[in-house]
Chain A
Amino acid sequence: MTAIRFSNVGKRYPNGHDALVGLDFTLESGELAFLTGHSGAGKSTLLKLIMLMERPSRGGVWVGDRDLTKLPRKQIPFHRREIGVVFQNHQLLFDRSVFDNVALPLQISGYDPVDAARRVRAALDKVGLLSREKLNPITLSSGEQQRVGIARAIVHKPKLLLADEPTGNLDPELSEDIMHLFEQFNRIGTTVLIASHDLSLINRLQHRVLSLQAGRLVSDGY
């Protein structure tokens, strides 16, 4: 089954800048792929189209069998609930504990609190931060903060996991740990798409790599 399909996708911003041009690719369910390219090559725009933070100027985007170009605005929240996202600047809320940060997607989806607590602890356990649940994320190291962000992205067991420069602020050793974490999720069936410009790390991991250059897909392979 197809997890993500881009068909002749173009994205032009109101200032006339073409962020993506004639983009065609398919990501199968259960795949792990890297998305690479210089900053400004269109990696973030591509992820934003999948999250419906942006709409394409032309072409079609499908997630699973859902045509995103036909999805009404009111359905966007429910689309986002089926995807997990990890950001470079992790976007944690510092007015609440690690636990509450990870619990936020479950709260929004209306999980029973007891069930949610169990899932939050399971997610924190997976990223090795179970002992930190009561702390404020501001007291954690940047590697730990990123792992809290990952726990929040996978707590509701999404079929699709997106990551935008998840290792951008981390040293090489921590970066590799984080990537292995994504490989673990992929091994249990999650489709994973990681935007990163850390080429040496990407090459070591030997997964499918989509390379963008000035908004065009210039290579796709292993």
Chain B
Amino acid sequence: MATERKSPQSQTKGRMPPRGAVQHRVGVADRLRGWLRHHYEVAAQALVRLWSTPLASLMTLAVLAIALALPGFIFTALKNVEQLTAGLDTDPHISLYLDVSLSDERVDSFSRELLLRDDLISVELISRDKGLADFKAYTRFDDLLDFFDSNPLPAVITLIPGTEEPDQLQQLQQELAALPEVEEARLDLEWVRRLGAFMALAERGAWVLGGLLSLTVLLVVGNTVRMTIESRRDEILVSKMVGATDAWVRRPFLYSGIWFGAFGALLAWLLAQLALALISEPVQALAALYLNGYVVQGLGPTESLTLLLIGILLGLGGAWIAVGRHLRDMEPG
């Protein structure tokens, strides 16, 4: 009886294996095509899945958009301020207030002496008479001058030094202040310095904020993807059972992360542009007081692409974090 039962197997010996049991092998080219097809299919399915729960997806996207829009908005605002200050004459000036007792001739010859110095780029003399005329023209306090018997204003020489180094400027200022003709030498550097310090602080703050909000994006995407993984537990187990690799199982969730990041970034772009458009008019009005022809800059092509790329990378990263541990733990059995 035993030999009878074994007959199907013994028949196969020394012959071609039975046709039905020859497992089909998938060639390398087919595998590559299959791999590409799976990427494409999974990307499309992840997109469909995103829109199959529109309300939940939109809420998540709104959170992502706000988290991405804030740094985008702040960096663009900073870029505008930088652009604005770049247009300003930020060369340091030294103003020399001359001794009032000096004669006009002496003042004139002193300013000519300064012109000969090669550490000064420009020397501009505002004589006492010119100062008085300007004062009358530009202020409403010209009545005040009636209290004085003679012109109380000193002659002023405005200098642009050849250096921008704070130490050298300070040294030059002290040197000029020591001259007998000079009553006071004032270096107009402070406000440029303060603006620079403020900008550096604002930029640092923007990076810190950007970092924290990026973390938010990672966590939000991670959590959303983790819930998707839970809801598809059966599918994951069955797929692993019939030979799915970790990469195959991971792929749909990574694409979900990418879509969340990309759409979040697109929404963020809209929000940032909207916010910039809203503040553009008052900023323009303000800028017009100081500078003509200043236009508020929105997010340019480079900034927009950077925002999109950051969104995608954060989405992918968040999904990767969620998928990493979670899928390894999900083993059939």
Contact = CB atoms under 8 A, between A and B. Distances in A.
7 closest Cβ pairs, A-B complex: A110-B34, A188-B20, A189-B21, A189-B18, A81-B243, A53-B333, A30-B9
Given A30-B12, A206-B5, A157 B243 contact: no
A80 B243 contact: yes
Contacts of B6: 28, 31
A29 B238 contact: no
A105 interface: yes
Interface string B14-55: 000111111110100011011101100000000000000000
A126 to B, nearest CB: 10
Given A189-B17, A207-B5, A104 B238 contact: yes
A110 B243 contact: no
B19 to A, nearest CB: 7
A93 interface: yes
A156 B24 contact: yes
B240 to A, nearest CB: 7
Given A110-B34, A113-B37, A29 B19 contact: no
Contact of A159 (B1, B21, B31): B21
Contacts of B244: 77, 108
B56 interface: no
B23 A152 contact: no
A104 B332 CA distance: 16
Interface residues of B, number: 39
B234 interface: yes
A107 B37 CA distance: 10
B243 A77 contact: yes
Contacts of A108: 239, 242-244, 248
A208 B1 CA distance: 11
B5 A186 contact: no
A190 B20 contact: yes
Contacts of A157: 20-24
B26 A190 contact: no
A105 B243 contact: yes
Contact of A111 (B19, B21, B34, B241): B34
A7 B327 CA distance: 32
28 contacts: A29-B12, A30-B8, A30-B12, A53-B331, A53-B332, A74-B245, A77-B244, A80-B243, A82-B23, A91-B238, A93-B235, A95-B235, A108-B244, A110-B34, A110-B35, A110-B37, A111-B30, A112-B34, A156-B23, A157-B20, A157-B24, A158-B23, A159-B23, A185-B20, A188-B18, A189-B19, A189-B20, A221-B2
Contacts of B8: 30, 186-187
Contact of B38 (A78, A81, A82, A110): A110
Contacts of B332: 53
A108 B246 CA distance: 11
Contacts of B246: 77
Contact of B12 (A82, A111, A189, A206): A189
Contact of A104 (B17, B21, B35, B242): B242
A91 B238 CA distance: 7
Contacts of B245: 74, 77
Given A28-B9, A77-B246, A189-B21, 12 more contacts: A51-B241, A77-B244, A78-B243, A108-B248, A109-B34, A156-B23, A157-B21, A157-B22, A157-B24, A188-B19, A188-B21, A206-B1
Interface string A45-61: 00010010110000000
Nearest to A85: B241
Interface in A185-199: 185-191
Q: Which of A81, A93, A110, A185 has the most CB of B within 10 A?
A: A110
Nearest to A154: B20
Contacts of A81: 242-243
Contacts of A158: 23
Contact of B26 (A91, A110, A159, A206): A110
B34 A80 contact: no
A106 B311 CA distance: 34
Q: Which of B2, B8, B9, B12 has the most CB of A within 10 A?
A: B9
A134 B2 CA distance: 44
